Amino acid sequence: MSTKNDLRRYLRTVLRQSSAANILFTHDLLDAVALADRMVVIEKGSIVQTGTPAEVTARPRSEYVADLVGMNLLRGRATGTGLDLDGGGRLVIGEPATGPVLAVVPPAAVSVSRTQPEPAAGNVWPAQIAGVDLMGDRVRVRLDGAPTISAEVPPSAVDEFKLDDGGQMWVSVDAADVRVYPA
């Protein structure tokens, strides 16, 4: 076990036993999720979102918060199971919705391929590789397209798809993996 994990567990025990209000400032999302009953996310000196850790991670309200919790956040207008995205592009969504919405797509739910897949997944579009970042036991691939989105792939995919070479990829997302909520 690491000292950081031991310290986090110890601090959680101490905070739970305390009857006083406690405020913890951190830049570490794991600390916030593990230790907080409520989160206040501050961006550029202003509060951008508050809620329980589960609420903040499930429904980010800004690009900053979405990036902090590791999600793709898209804005658009829903009509039934169609979502017209701000900035271009259209997605099929799993549950009908109406009006301005925010859509969250986990990067692990985004598939990439060098060849165009069958559109059975509901959403398929071309994109250019904009960046490849190693994140421990996974790789985050940023794809510029309509929409721009990040995918999470295993390290073996870097060689398999020659991701470091850049170029065009095909992106697919199952409609059921696109969660929407009012903007």
Instruction: For residues 52 and 30, state if they share a domain.
Output: yes
CA 42, CA 36: separation in Å to the nearest integer?
15
| Same-domain status, 47 and 77 | no
Tell me phi and psi for residue 13, to 5 degrees: -60, -45
State which residues form the domain around 11.
3-69
Least confident of 81-85, 113-117, 141-145: 113-117
Residues, the chain: 183
52, 59 in Cβ contact below 8 A? no
- 174: exposed, middle or buried (C-beta count within 10 Å: 0-12, 13-18, 19+)? middle
Co-location of 89 and 126 in the same domain: yes
Do 167 and 79 have their domain in common? yes
- Per the structure, how many domains does the chain have? 2
Phi first, then psi, for residue 48 (nearest 5°) are -110, -20
Secondary structure class of 32 (helix, strand, coil): helix
Residues 89 and 102 in one domain: yes
Contact call for residues 113 and 170 (beta carbons, < 8 A): yes
Per the rule left: phi > 0, alpha: psi between -120 and 50, beta: everything else, 64 is alpha
The verdict on 54 and 83 lying in the same domain is no
Last residue of a domain, one of 69, 89, 107: 69
Which of 46, 69, 92 is the endpoint of a domain? 69
Give the global pTM.
Answer: 0.86
HSE-CB at 57 with a 13 A cutoff on CA atoms is 13
Cα–Cα separations (whole angstroms), residue 173 to 20, 92, 93, 131: 45, 9, 10, 19
Contact status, residue 107 vs residue 71, Cβ threshold 8 Å: yes
Summarised one tens digit per residue, pLDDT across range 11-34 is: 888 888 888 888 888 888 888 888
Domain boundary at 28, 54, 69, which?
A: 69
Q: Look at residue 120 in the predicted model and tell me its pLDDT.
A: 63
**Domain co-membership, 115 together with 157:** yes
Position 164 pLDDT exceeds 90: no
Q: Tell me: the pLDDT tens digits for 61-102? A: 999 999 999 999 999 999 999 999 999 999 999 999 999 999
Residues 31 and 81 in one domain: no
Residues forming a β-bridge with 101 = 76, 182
Percent of the chain past pLDDT 90, that is, above it, reads: 67
**Whether 35 and 113 share a structural domain:** no
Q: Which two tokens stand for residue 128?
A: 């250019």
